Amino acid sequence: MIEFSDVRVRLGGREVLRGITATLRERRVGVVGANGSGKSTLARLVNGLVTPTEGAVTVLGMDTRRQAAKIRRRVGFVFTDPDAQIVMPTVAEDVAFSLRRSGLPAAEIERRVRRALAEHGLQDHADHPAHQLSGGQKQLLALCSVLVLDPDILVMDEPTTLLDLRHSRHVAEILRALPQRILVATHDLDLLAGFDRVLVVDEGRVVADDEPEQAIRHYRKLMA
């Protein structure tokens, strides 16, 4: 469960989120809103990348102010730009880097890396320079490097913004098949097909909170 209790966030002297209160129990939750609405900040609250100025956020029973490190071990985060989280020279090395603190023997780490790459169609690129992949392949690598840790919750911030239609659909297919709870902040309304709940954020407030069809209808009216 993810719980926001009267959360306010001020960044750079500006109030980015104002009075957010919500309890998220659903398996797949989307967050939509215009640029600058606060949706990405809301997503970053979930694993402690941003902490509330006022109010509280609890994730899996833990407070993000006091237990951020523990939360990040159970909540994976995928950024909009995969280059922001690709840190190693090759594809396999980048996935293995995620397991560096696992205490697993080298042979087991290699096995898990190979399995993860195969699951995401990157097995033929294991020794390829990571930053020379296509944009879509980089996003798959970033996702792979998070999922190899088997998080309880996956948070994604605009995961398809830099992708073409084919890779956007591929990411959507992956999300539909994942067993994890998912929170996705996005402009890509097609990505939310099959989601359980969608929050609409506008000027730092949740202005709609409903099943996807109803929430997206509200968002379209808001943008019109």
Q: How far apart (Å, rounded) are the C-alpha atoms in residues 137 and 159?
A: 12
Nearest to 20 by CA among 211, 205, 199: 205
Q: b vs e for 200-217, b when ≥16 Cβ sit within 10 Å of the residue's Cβ?
A: bbbebebbbbeebeebbe
Q: What is the pLDDT of residues 136-164, one digit of tens each?
A: 899 999 999 999 999 999 999 999 988 88
Q: What is the pLDDT of residues 166-221, one digit of tens each?
A: 888 888 988 988 999 999 999 999 999 899 999 999 999 999 999 999 999 999 99
Tell me the pLDDT of the chain averaged across its residues: 93
121: CB partners within 8 A, 6+ apart = 140
- What six digits make up the tokens of 198? 């969608």
Query: Is this model's pTM higher than 0.75 or not?
Result: yes
Which domains are seen in the chain, by residue range? 1-72+187-224 (3.40.50.300)
